[in-house]
Chain A
């Protein structure tokens, strides 16, 4: 191979590094109003999203063996669980385990939605962000065509999954609650105390969230259920969605707030079917809360 001209080479390198730095600088100032890079991002979502969906559906027979296949290092712990479940599932596995699982999951999400009066768009996770990117995001195969827009709440049958951060025509990106950027208003279901749940950036089945209560005189108990507290207008999070339960409480006199470790109900290493809540439904709870003779 003939050696490249070092001067041209350095010019190319300089140009590309400059281009990268420019994109970073322009995009780093991204705020709620968006960034100039967003059109590119939307275009990439429109072009690549459907391909990711296709790739994921091609991989379904392989990935179907499945939910137990998520993370190689977690396999050992899951093995015991798997063996127990195996006998029960073998017959169903033969007749397309993935579909049966998904149907059951969808039914459970549907039941939850009916109970709350939500309108839910079902979707499947088609791509996961790698740990190398230090963020916990997934792509789902529902987008603006299905009524999915940023800031909607995403759940699955077990509880809160995250919120939509961007949406293309056929796919959307969901920020998981375990991401370090994610902060949720939370409420303890026992004491009704409020606080904030923040992601720790971990992935996998041992992911934990950090709960900081506002009232430092209250101490959460292990086993307490944590629900979403809800934001104004129901975006990005609707109230009353189960997130996880308290597993460990850290209290230090030096700190103003009590913190606790919360284990989410959702297993983020084997996310498959999720539901995007596109409409919080009728506001029955509000009207029934009115005094009987008030009108």
Chain B
């Protein structure tokens, strides 16, 4: 497979994930919080490929989430949050081998960092929807829900990314 074809495949994966997240999974919300599938894809990418790759996947997935309807906030905020998450989880992955518990911890940390960076950027930009109180009520639920969704999403994406790109090439 050529590099372009691989990039295309990952892009399709990201589009599908973002679409599912806002349409079908929106029906499964807990207090309005939806499992952040795009974030799980970024973390899975970090587990397989490390910080560089995950940061790029994070940027693209975040931008898709920023632009896909019904998003109405300032664009670039999810992109920034996911770049940070991808890079940090990628670094953490290099420190230790991946165990089941380690993956769950990474997802929890990633969800916490991602949602917090997004909320903080909203506070900085003066988004009226974001307050410290609303952030405190949303972030824990988001972390919990993402951890719950991990066993269904992360192994699938890890397998897919592994198949797509043999590790030696990078």
Question: Which residues of A does B touch, CB under 8 Å?
Answer: 1-4, 8-9, 12-13, 16-17, 19-24, 26-28, 30, 37, 40-41, 43-45, 48-49, 51-53, 55-56, 58-59, 62-63, 69-73, 126-139, 165-166, 168, 171-175, 179-181, 201, 203-204
Q: Mark B42-77, 1 if CB is under 8 A from A, else 0.
A: 000000001110011011001110111111111111
Tell whether A62 pairs with B27 under 8 Å between CB atoms, given A17-B84, A24-B75, A52-B19: yes
* Least Cβ–Cβ distance between B128 and chain A, in angstroms: 4
- Contact status B59-A133, CB under 8 Å: no
In the complex the two chains form, is B21's CB within 8 Å of A130's CB? yes
Q: Kindly identify which residue among B23, B36, B170 contacts A126, using a CB–CB cutoff of 8 Å.
A: B23
Cβ–Cβ contact B29 & A24, under 8 A = no
Cα of A203 to Cα of B67 in the assembled complex, Å: 21
The reply to whether B31 and A73 contact each other, CB–CB distance below 8 Å, is yes
Q: Assuming the A-B contacts A28-B125, A71-B31, are A129 and B19 also in contact, with contact meaning beta carbons closer than 8 angstroms in the complex?
A: no
Complex: how many Å from CA A129 to CA B72? 9
Find out whether the CB atom of A132 lies under 8 angstroms from the CB atom of B69.
Answer: no
How far is it, in angstroms, between the C-alpha of A203 and the C-alpha of B33 when the chains are bound? 10
Take A21-B80, A24-B125, A48-B68 as given contacts and tell me if A130 and B36 are in contact as well, using a CB distance cutoff of 8 Å: yes
Instruction: Report B102-124 CB contacts with A as 1/0, cut-off 8 Å.
Output: 00000000000001001101100
- Measured between alpha carbons, how far is A115 from B51 in the docked complex, in Å? 60
Q: Which of A37, A126, A131, A175 has the most CB of B within 10 A?
A: A131
Report whether A48 and B76 are in contact in the complex, using a CB–CB cutoff of 8 Å.
Answer: no
Q: Are A127 and B23 in contact (CB under 8 A)?
A: yes
Q: How long is the Cα–Cα vector from A150 to B39 in the complex, in angstroms?
A: 30
**Set of chain B residues within 8 Å of A131, measured between Cβ atoms:** 29, 31-34, 138, 141-142
**Residue in contact with B69 in the complex, picked from A19, A49, A55, A201, CB distance below 8 Å:** A49
Of residues 12 to 39 in B, which have CB atoms within 8 Å of A's CB atoms?
A: 15, 18-24, 26-34, 36
The residues of B with any CB-CB pair to A shorter than 8 Å are 15, 18-24, 26-34, 36, 50-52, 55-56, 58-59, 62-64, 66-80, 83-84, 87, 90, 93-94, 115, 118-119, 121-122, 125, 127-131, 134-135, 138, 141-142, 167, 170
In the bound assembly, the distance between CA atoms of A37 and B55 in angstroms comes to: 22
**Known: A132-B115, A139-B69. Is A24-B26 also a contact (CB below 8 A)?**
no
- Chain B residues, CB < 8 A from A12: 51-52, 55-56
Are B15 and A48 neighbours in the complex by a CB distance under 8 Å?
Answer: yes
CB distance from B63 to the nearest CB of A (A): 7
Q: Of the candidates A21, A62, A165, A201, which one forms a contact with B72 in the assembled complex, judged by CB atoms under 8 Å apart? A: A165
Establish whether residues A19 and B74, one from each chain, have CB atoms under 8 Å apart when the complex forms: no
What are 28 sample pairs from A and B whose C-beta atoms fall under 8 A apart?
A3-B50, A4-B51, A8-B52, A9-B87, A13-B83, A13-B87, A16-B55, A20-B77, A24-B77, A41-B67, A44-B68, A45-B67, A52-B19, A55-B23, A56-B23, A62-B27, A71-B30, A131-B32, A133-B78, A137-B70, A137-B71, A139-B69, A139-B70, A166-B72, A168-B69, A171-B69, A172-B69, A175-B72
Question: Beyond A26-B76, A132-B34: 7 further Cβ-contacts under 8 Å?
Answer: A4-B50, A4-B94, A22-B76, A37-B75, A41-B67, A131-B142, A139-B23
Whether B68 lies near A24 (C-beta < 8 A) is no
Tell me the dominant secondary structure on chain B's binding face: helix
Q: Tell me whether B129 and A134 are in contact (CB under 8 A).
A: yes
How many whole Å from B138's CB to the nearest CB in chain A?
5
CB of A208 to closest CB in B, whole Å = 14
Q: Which residues of B contact A130 (CB under 8 A)?
A: 21-22, 26, 29, 32-34, 36
